Structure formats: C-alpha cells, structure tokens
Amino acid sequence: MTRRSSFAAGARDTLPMVIGAAPFGVIFGTLVAAGPLAAWQGQLMSLSVYAGSSQFIALGLVAGHAGLAVIWLTTLIVNLRHALYAATLLPHVAHLPARWRWTLGFFLTDETFAVMAGYYARHPRAPLGHWYFLGSCLSMYANWQFWTLVGLLFGAAFPQLQSLGLDFAMVATFIAIVVPQLASLPNFAAAVAAGAVAYLGQDVPYKLGLMAAVVAGVAVGMALQRWRSGGLEAGRREEEAA
C-alpha cells in the first residue's frame, strides 16, 4: 500500500456514495437558481458549509424569512450527528498532525463516515488509513461541487431527477457495511432498535428522529452487552464453585 494507492482506494470505495449524492447536488443547485439566493451564494454554501441536509433546510428557512439566529441554530442541530461521527473516528486520527485533523474534520459527511466505519472495521490499524480517508473525502467533495454547479446552470433540464432512485446506491453500500457487523447479538439488536425508532421518527424535524434512533440503538446494544458479560461472569462463578 502506498499513499497514492490508499488514496485511490478511498476514492474508489466512495463511488456508490458519489452516484447516490449526485442528484441531490443537482436538486440543490436547481432550488438555489429558483430561489432568493444568488447563484454564487449557492456554490459558496456547497463549498463552505458542505452538509447536504442543512443546506436544503436553510433554503427553506430563507424562503420563509427566518432570522439568522434561527438558521444558525437549526444548522447546529441538524449537523449534530457529525460530532458523533467525529467521536467514533477519533481514535483513528488522533495521532495525525493538526492540519490533517482539520482537513478530515471539515470534509466529514454521512457518506464518508459510512465508508470509514467500514474501512476501519476491516483494517483497524492501517498506517495509511488517513490517505484512504482523504481519498473518500475529496471524491465526495468534488462530486458535490460539480453537481451543485450543474444544478445552478442547467437544473431545469433535469426534471424528475429524484425518481431515478440513484440514492439507492447509498442504501446498497450502507447495507454492505452494516450486515457483516450484525453477527453479534448486541449489534443486531442495536440495529433493529435504531431502525425501528428511525422509521417511527422520520417526520421529526431537524433530523432529531435520527439522533433518537442512535440513542435507542446504543442503549439496547449496551444493555445486551452488559447482560451477556454479566451472564458470562455468573457462569464462571458457578464453574469455580463446582
């Protein structure tokens, strides 16, 4: 593994996410072109904020004449899940120089988190993992900028883009990452609980249904893990007594 091949592998493994996110980039650009923001401001938002769902929500809030504080607070709440991603990935990046940590943090998204969670599950101690991380980040970022621009310039030429279902590429990749981890009972139960709460809470605003799902899933997983290790300890005590 060289830096270059690690970087290329990260970019390659993110390809399904790139396909899945493309239509949303176009849709975002199209909505900007039809709304109160200037085109360059739409691109600036993709370049600097770089967080799809909060960008869409902000457009809605601007159209509804919401105040700055409301928009910023909403951005904070909608993007809170990224702190969870950062906490989860931190052990793999804490040793890197500060410029690396700033860079990888800036580029963190749902999609790159998924790719990196899968990668670190397979390669927990890869010395060039950060190059793979960067490859994933940059392909996702370039893709978002490109399709935002396409939407800004030619959005009206792509009606019904959402009905193509290209975002299924993301679903397929997430399944390929999650399923191998379901072999352990606590993980399986955590996923079932999270899925159920996410389904029930899908209409809760600010993506808080997603946060609730994670909290519920983690709680169920932890409870099962404790119960099992408690059971093992009890078993050991019984053996010793016998």
Partner 1 sequence: MTNTVMILGMAAVTVFVKAALFVLGDRVVFPPLLKQALGFVPVTVLTAIIVPMILSPNGEGLELTWTNPQLVGALAAVLACVVTGKQLLTIAVALGVFFTWQLGVLA
Residues 180-219 touching partner 1, rule: CB under 8 A, are 180-182, 186-187, 190-191, 193-199, 202, 210, 213-214, 217-218
Judged by CB under 8 A, does residue 62 bind partner 1?
A: yes
**227 contacts partner 1 (rule: CB under 8 A):** no
What are the C-alpha distances in Å from 24 to residues 18, 101, 102, 113, 140? 10, 27, 26, 18, 12
Residue choice 34, 142, 153, 172 for contact with partner 1 (CB under 8 A): 172
SS3 35: coil
Sequence-distant (≥ 6) Cβ neighbours of residue 34 within 8 angstroms: 155
Which is nearer to partner 1, 110 or 128 (by Cβ)? Answer: 110
Sequence-distant (6+) residues with CB within 8 A of 64 are: none
CB of 238 to partner 1, least distance (A): 25
- Token digits of residue 18: 């790139």
Contact between 177 and partner 1 per CB under 8 A: yes
Phi and psi for 37 in degrees, rounded to 5? -80, 150
Binding segment toward partner 1, per CB under 8 A, in 23-31, 144-152, 172-180, 232-240: 172-180
Nearer to partner 1, 5 or 41 (CB): 41
Residue whose structure tokens are 């909608």: 78
Cα(162)–Cα(158) distance, rounded to whole angstroms?
9
According to CB under 8 A, which one of 21, 108, 134, 161 is a site residue for partner 1? 108
Name which of residues 112 to 171 contact partner 1 (CB under 8 A).
Answer: 113-114, 117-118, 121, 165, 167-171
Task: Closer to partner 1 by CB, 33 or 214: give it.
Answer: 214
Q: Does 11 bind partner 1 (CB under 8 A)?
A: no
Q: Which is nearer to partner 1, 80 or 150 (CB)?
A: 80
Identify residues 79-98 at the interface with partner 1 (CB under 8 A): 79-90, 93-96, 98
Name which of 59, 51, 102 is nearest 77 in CA terms. Answer: 51
Contact status, residue 195 vs residue 213, Cβ threshold 8 Å:
yes
Which of 72, 154, 157, 185 touches partner 1 (CB under 8 A)? 72
Cα pseudo-dihedral 112, 113, 115, 119, rounded to 10: 130
Residue 34 engages partner 1 in binding (rule: CB under 8 A): no
Alpha-carbon distance of 93 to 116, in angstroms, equals 11
From the list 23-31, 54-62, 147-155, 231-239, the region that binds partner 1 by CB under 8 A is 54-62
